Amino acid sequence: METKNLSVVLATRKGVLILEKQSSRWEIINHSFPGIPISYAFRHPYSGVLWAALDSDHWGAKLQRSDDDGKSWQDVEMPKYPEGAMTNADTPAILSYIWTISEGHAERPADIFLGTEPGGLFYSKDGGKSFALVKSLWDDPGRSQWFGAGRDHPGLHSVVVDPRDANHIYIGISVGGVYESKDGGESWVPKNKGLIAEYLPNQNAEVGHDPHLLVMSPSNPDVLWQQNHCGIFVSRDGSENWEKASEESGPAHFGFPVMVDPTNPETAWVIPGVSDEVRMAVDGALCVSRTEDGGKTWTAFREGLPQENCFDIVFRHGFDQMGDVLMFGTTTGNLFVSENRGESWELISSFIPPVYSVRFMK
């Protein structure tokens, strides 16, 4: 694959970074919002608008857009939870964090979804001029069983739209679980059968699971993968049933990101970490694990990655793919690229800030 002029946008602890592959090197070509934590950044594939979610320590969560790939930015009016909306902690709901910004179906190129904390899904039909809370999800009785993990409130971090049907939407909430809508968000059903919640008295509860990231196979949208707090899970029947796909003995179990191959639903990648109470690279050595048989077996690839005294993990949106090129950014500011589907890696930089998202500019 021709990799020249590939570009990628990073959300980091100290602003947005845009990198471009020039000849054989990845160069930082833009740094926007220096010093401001960015929770997520991506270029909308249909509009070409670059979006950035700011997580300012002082001024709150903010949304910015750029029509010229980061040369200039415009403040976008922040969506609000409706008057009277309350969190599970019985406090007024305030939009405190944008977990994800996502496009909708290709037939609806102006659609944008925001996944937020506390546990909200906001939807724009007009290219981000206005957003409204998806009330059907907020009012779902199951929301009373959602809770925060590592943060005060539940976070909605994954929005996945079926390429076959614009009204078929999945979301992932940490902690809450996977929900499915078949009617464009009018109604929602929890889809967590087969998942295990080791931290709940009822490990097979309908709601209260902790998907860290949910992804759908583009080539077979009935296949969904999730990196869950309690392991890696795959569904081959549109989320009706989940099967554990973690390694029995090996690093592929706990982590945050998961990625599925665009052409093969049985091929997926994860970046393992030591489970929740530690959150570092397994045995101080970083690896990327790939399965090509739907999670029956995994191969850990380590070439080019630090294999001792390594403390990095990768956050849920910190890993992306464009053809054979894979890239991830870590919590300690290392950025790695692979041009052979994850089998060997090259360090792009070890001097960038902690990375929250890595998204190729498609």
Partner 1 sequence: MPEIKFTNHLKRFFPALTNGPISGHTIAEVVAALDVAYPGLSAYIVDEHGKLRQHVNIFVGEDMIEDREGLSDKVNEDERMYIFQALSGG
Alpha-carbon span 27 to 6, nearest angstrom:
11
Q: Which amino acid is at 216?
A: M
Q: Which stretch binds partner 1 (CB under 8 A): 52-60, 207-215, 236-244, 321-329?
A: 52-60
Residues 241-260 that bind partner 1 (CB under 8 A): none
Residues 16-45 that bind partner 1 (CB under 8 A): 35
Edge-to-edge strands of the sheet including 25-32? 25-32, 15-22, 7-12, 355-360
Alpha-carbon span 107 to 27, nearest angstrom:
34
Q: Which stretch binds partner 1 (CB under 8 A): 4-12, 55-63, 211-219, 255-263?
A: 55-63
Residue 93 CB, nearest distance to partner 1 (Å)? 9
> Out of 49, 95, 133, 213, which residue is the one contacting partner 1 (CB under 8 A)?
95
Which conformational region is residue 46 in: left (phi greater than 0), alpha (psi within -120 to 50 degrees), or beta? alpha
Counting contacts by CB under 8 A, is residue 60 touching partner 1? yes
Edge-to-edge strands of the sheet including 155-161? 155-161, 169-174, 177-181, 189-190
- Residue 362's contacts (CB-CB under 8 Å, 6 or more residues apart) are 43, 45, 322
Residues in the chain: 362
Taking the least distance from each CB to partner 1, the nearer of 14 and 182 is 14
Residue 36 CB, nearest distance to partner 1 (Å)? 9
Counting contacts by CB under 8 A, is residue 78 touching partner 1? yes
Q: Which stretch binds partner 1 (CB under 8 A): 77-85, 118-126, 261-269, 277-285?
A: 77-85
Q: Return the number of other C-beta atoms located less than 10 Å from residue 35's C-beta.
A: 10
Taking the least distance from each CB to partner 1, the nearer of 35 and 218 is 35
Counting contacts by CB under 8 A, is residue 75 touching partner 1? yes
Q: Which sign does the torsion angle of CA 134, 38, 275, 298 carry?
A: positive
Write the binding mask 110 to 139 for partner 1: x where contact by CB under 8 A, - elsewhere: ------------------------------
Counting contacts by CB under 8 A, is residue 59 touching partner 1? yes
Q: Which stretch binds partner 1 (CB under 8 A): 89-97, 134-142, 254-262, 292-300?
A: 89-97
> Out of 81, 233, 315, 336, which residue is the one contacting partner 1 (CB under 8 A)?
81
Compute φ and ψ for 356, nearest 5 degrees. Answer: -105, -30
Q: Which amino acid is at 288?
A: V
Taking the least distance from each CB to partner 1, the nearer of 64 and 338 is 64
Counting contacts by CB under 8 A, is residue 57 touching partner 1? yes
Taking the least distance from each CB to partner 1, the nearer of 179 and 315 is 315
Residue 260 CB, nearest distance to partner 1 (Å)? 35
Compute φ and ψ for 270, nearest 5 degrees. Answer: -135, 165
Counting contacts by CB under 8 A, is residue 77 touching partner 1? yes
Residue 315 CB, nearest distance to partner 1 (Å)? 17
Q: Which stretch binds partner 1 (CB under 8 A): 87-95, 131-139, 202-210, 213-221?
A: 87-95
DSSP H/E element including 332:
none
Counting contacts by CB under 8 A, is residue 71 touching partner 1? no
Task: State the number of binding residues for partner 1 (CB under 8 A).
Answer: 14
Counting contacts by CB under 8 A, is residue 94 touching partner 1? yes
Residue 75 CB, nearest distance to partner 1 (Å)? 6
Edge-to-edge strands of the sheet including 243-244? 211-216, 224-228, 231-235, 243-244
Q: Which residues of 275-289 are buried (b: 16+ CB within 10 A; e: fewer)?
A: eeeeeebbeebbbbb
Exposed/middle/buried for 30, CB within 10 Å: 0-12, 13-18, 19+?
A: middle
| Binding footprint of partner 1 on the chain (CB under 8 A) | 35, 57-60, 62, 75, 77-78, 80-81, 92, 94-95
